[in-house]
Amino acid sequence: MMFAAAVEAVQPDTVVRQSIERKEDSVIINGHKFTLNHNLHLVGFGKAVLGMAAEAERIMGDHLVKGVISVPHGIQQTLQQHGKGHLLLKENSRIKVIEGARHNLPDADAQKAAEEIKHLASELTEKDLLLVLISGGGSALLPAPTPPITLQEKLDVTRSLAGAGATIQELNTIRRALSLLKGGGLAYYAHPAQVVALILSDVIGDPLDLIASGPTVRSQAWPEEILLILEHYKLFNSLPTSVREVLGRPNPRWKENKDESDTSGHVLNVVIGSNSVALKCAALRARELGFRPVVLSPGVCGDVRYVSRLYGLLARFACSRKEPPPEIATEVLKLGPEVGVESWDLCRTMQVLDEGRTEGWGATCLLAGGEPIVELTGKGRGGRNQELAMRVGLELRDLELPPNGPVFLSGGTDGQDGPTEAAGAITDGGLHDEAQAQGLDINNFLVNNDSYTFFSRLSAGQRLLVPGLTCTNVMDVHMLLIPPMPINIR
């Protein structure tokens, strides 16, 4: 129920509805008022954009002149089949939908969509308002390689980077440097129209310039930074000539600015949904259900093995029979920053857990989110959430107290964990023995990154979290439920 609340809070239609206040012939967005005068244009790109566009059209459709959105291949049919008609455009919509980017990779369809979006933006005047809807997956859905780079060349470079283990920050820094529309390019083409971008964030820390590679955020690509990334992944020497040529020249957009002035003043970028929002709503739901919620951080990242260790330590801390040994807090404070959690958040959380332990509250619900990393060594089927859940189950194994406790859940808010049908899994300290009793060797599955096979076989898949298509994505959500300590041993 709490995971459902997290996902519900960041539904594409919900976040758009909450961010746009319609007042007769104007709208208020993030405290800014915009006059509507049949001057509204709409573009969008990302996995959650169809539902965002449907809601935007419901709110402001009477002033909408034209729109183009680039969304994943097959999404309209999928939404239809899953009974999510409210996320589809109405039949006589003014918004053109282009589906593309099969397997999350830029393709000719996505490139066509990008061209149409660029064309629409270029034709706008200072009287126009351009609403830009952005969500995760937007980079692949808006490919506009800077000539003479071809789509294939750009794809090769980004694929090699991703394959070599580059982070989304590094990947999108390079994408921005090779694209006409990323890194503020779209806002540049839309000048002098007013641009308002509504952004559903799928990147830790919600960095505007990196989510979908920041098409509405003017950002300078520093040659040194780009060089450093390409050299780090040993790709510099194998770059195509066209890519070298583009990287070697200053960004023409900022040089040949239409009127030599800074065009970024006409742009408003607003994050309307994020992991923090999802955690906040899950925390509210937890309180309603009688838990005492504490949000650790929406920025959990790094190796899944360290992340599981951190949750194991926090559970140990919360369930200590007496005063927790100081070594636990010391290790928590050492490990936390390595997985993206700040010392302040660790101290605040441990204080809440300690109060819960000593003051006899009911159950506590620790919430966190982010996107840990699994280093793939095996050939199994799984995802980072299922693997994290397995590892946390092992960490909780020899926790003595309390009798029914703690339970851990890890789930991807998009409803899909890696290439599997599950979003994640739910575990506790009994996982190892349960597996052993069913003849499953948990460590074998871990070595082979085979977490989905493991959970599918274990207890007829009962521990799998399978919410189906959620139509949104704000990374992963983690929950650790800590039951109350029995009175007699407090």
Ligand X SMILES: O=C(O)[C@H](O)CO
Ligand Y SMILES: Nc1ncnc2c1ncn2[C@@H]1O[C@H](COP(=O)(O)OP(=O)(O)OP(=O)(O)O)[C@@H](O)[C@H]1O
Q: Which residues bind ligand X (CB under 6 A)?
A: 136-139, 168, 172, 202-203, 211-213
Q: Does 376 bind ligand Y (CB under 6 A)?
A: yes
Q: Does 251 bind ligand Y (CB under 6 A)?
A: no
From 86-94, 177-185, 278-286, 413-421, give the range in contact with ligand Y by CB under 6 A: 413-421
Q: How far is the CB of 216 from ligand Y (least distance, A)?
A: 20
Q: Does 428 bind ligand Y (CB under 6 A)?
A: no
Q: Which entry of ligand Y, ligand X, none binds 382, CB below 5 to 8 A by partner kind?
A: ligand Y
Between 84 and 218, name the residue whose CB sits nearer to ligand Y.
Answer: 84
* Residue 150 burial class via C-beta count within 10 angstroms: exposed 0-12, middle 13-18, buried 19 and up: middle
From 222-230, 373-381, 462-470, 479-487, give the range in contact with ligand Y by CB under 6 A: 373-381
Q: Under a CB-based contact definition with an 8 Å cutoff, are residues 117 and 186 in contact? A: yes
- Build a one-symbol-per-residue string for 194-233: x at contacts with ligand Y by CB under 6 A, - elsewhere: --------x-------------------------------
From 24-32, 54-62, 283-291, 410-418, give the range in contact with ligand Y by CB under 6 A: 410-418
Q: How far is the CB of 248 from ligand X (least distance, A)?
A: 24
Q: Which entry of ligand Y, ligand X, none binds 138, CB below 5 to 8 A by partner kind?
A: ligand X
Q: 364-370 and 292-300: which strand pairing?
A: parallel
Encoded tokens for 461: 């898949």
- Build a one-symbol-per-residue string for 134-163: x at contacts with ligand Y by CB under 6 A, - elsewhere: --x---------------------------
Between 185 and 393, name the residue whose CB sits nearer to ligand X.
Answer: 185
CA atoms within 13 A on the CB side of 233: 22
Encoded tokens for 193: 């129209």
Between 84 and 292, name the residue whose CB sits nearer to ligand Y.
Answer: 84
Residues sharing a CB contact under 8 Å with residue 134, sequence separation 6 or more, in sequence order: 44, 45, 46, 49, 197, 198, 199, 200, 211, 212, 215, 216
From 209-217, 322-330, 360-368, 374-382, give the range in contact with ligand Y by CB under 6 A: 374-382
Q: Does 451 bind ligand Y (CB under 6 A)?
A: yes
Q: Under a CB-based contact definition with an 8 Å cutoff, are residues 467 and 411 in contact? A: yes
Burial 276-311 (b: 16+ CB within 10 A, else e): bbbbbbbbebbeeeebbbbbbbbbbbbebbbbbbbb
Instruction: Return the residue nearest ligand X (CB atom).
Output: 139
Q: Does 463 bind ligand Y (CB under 6 A)?
A: no
Number of chain residues interacting with ligand Y (CB under 6 A) = 19
From 76-84, 215-223, 281-289, 372-380, give the range in contact with ligand Y by CB under 6 A: 372-380
Distance CA 426, CA 131 (A): 40
State whether the Cα torsion 385-386-387-388 is positive or negative. Answer: positive
Q: How far is the CB of 185 from ligand Y (least distance, A)?
A: 23
Distance CA 296, CA 370 (A): 11
Q: How far is the CB of 351 from ligand X (least distance, A)?
A: 34
Q: Which of 61, 67, 302, 382 binds ligand Y (CB under 6 A)?
A: 382
Q: 20-23 and 407-412: which strand pairing?
A: unpaired
Q: Does 383 bind ligand Y (CB under 6 A)?
A: yes
Between 104 and 238, name the residue whose CB sits nearer to ligand X.
Answer: 104
Distance CA 179, CA 52 (A): 25
Q: Does 374 bind ligand Y (CB under 6 A)?
A: yes
Encoded tokens for 145: 């390689």
Distance CA 70, CA 141 (A): 6
Q: How far is the CB of 233 from ligand X (least distance, A)?
A: 17
User: Residue 133 CB: number of other CB atoms within 10 A?
Assistant: 29
Q: Which entry of ligand Y, ligand X, none binds 55, CB below 5 to 8 A by partner kind?
A: none
Q: Does 380 bind ligand Y (CB under 6 A)?
A: yes
Distance CA 282, CA 88 (A): 26
Residue 230 gets which letter from DSSP?
H
Alpha carbon distance, N-terminus to C-terminus of the chain:
29
Q: Which entry of ligand X, ligand Y, none binds 187, CB below 5 to 8 A by partner kind?
A: none
Q: Which of 11, 158, 179, 416 binds ligand Y (CB under 6 A)?
A: 416
Report angle CA 414, 7, 213 to the nearest 5 degrees.
50
**Binding interface with ligand Y (CB under 6 A):** 136, 202, 374, 376, 380-384, 387, 412, 414, 416, 418-419, 449, 451, 473, 475
